[in-house]
Amino acid sequence: MNTKIAFFDIDGTLTSEVDGTLPDSAVMAIRKARTAGNLMFINTGRCFQNVEPRFLEIGFDGIVCGCGTNIYYHGKELLHVFQRHERVMEILNQARLTGVDILFESKTEVIFDLSRGLKSPAAKKLYQEFKSLHYDMSHALEAEDYTCDKFVIWYENGRQRADFCGVSDKYFQCIDRGNNFLEFVPHGYSKATGIQYLVDAFKLNPDDAYAFGDSNNDLPMLEYVKNSIAMGNSEPASLKEQVSYVTDNAGSDGIAKALKHFHFI
């Protein structure tokens, strides 16, 4: 039997779309699929520091973090692509010139630019969530040792977005997450390149790769694999028209049902 490899987004895919909890059925199905000899990986836009212990405790073989910029297998780092300080400063200066709220992410920390305060209610909410989790966000962005892996912004209008992207587009792909929220990943890296890296590393048949997702930032990996699975709760709903299989909602045993459908368990 060929070894199959599966990749799972986190939010709304592994976690319930209702309350963010991990369905027991998903945990047990993933563990059972691994016991059967399959490889199971998280594939997330989150950087490593933001992958909570509850996800690691499921028992995955590894993690593709930061939209393909940081890859781990059995705790060993296989790949890390980061942005040097000079580029971070170029992006930071443009964020300040255009007045967008910006959050830089790396494998070790998250840092907001608070020099002018945060305008977006969503940015303010996320900042408070990180504070409540006791994240150390004290590293000065201007410090010469500061680097990042990727970043996100919140903007107010189309002109502001266009002005910011006039600089960022040289180096980064922009992923529109909706609600005036944009995610930026270095050109040449995505959830799809993370899959390709591991399929090549394990010398697997690409047809034996499976991807599970629920949102637009999952599109690169869903389009890359032959076996693409959208959760029933996917947003936008049009995502379901671009995959090979639609399973149930994450909170209604969608992962377990799909793994059973594709004979992982």
228, burial (CB in 10 Å: exposed 0-12, middle 13-18, buried 19+):
buried
What single DSSP character describes residue 13? Answer: I
The per-residue pLDDT for range 125-167, each reduced to its tens digit, is 999 999 999 999 999 999 999 999 999 999 999 999 999 999 9
Chain segment 90-100, per-residue pLDDT in tens: 999 999 999 99
Query: 85-186 in CATH: which number?
Result: 3.30.1240.10
Select 5-81+189-261's CATH number: 3.40.980.20, 3.40.50.1000, 3.40.50.300, 1.10.150.20.
3.40.50.1000
Burial of 2 (0-12, 13-18, 19+ CB in 10 A): exposed
Phi-psi region of 12 (alpha: psi -120 to 50; beta: other; left: phi over 0): left
The pTM of this model reads: 0.93
H or E stretch covering 258: helix 254-261
Per-domain residue ranges of the chain:
5-81+189-261, 85-186
Write down the number of H helices and E strands in the chain: 8, 13
Nearest to 232 by CA among 9, 10, 12, 6: 12
Predicted pLDDT of residue 1: 63
For the chain, give the longest Cα–Cα distance. Answer: 58
Taking the C-alpha atoms of residue 64 and residue 54, their distance in angstroms, rounded to an integer, is 16
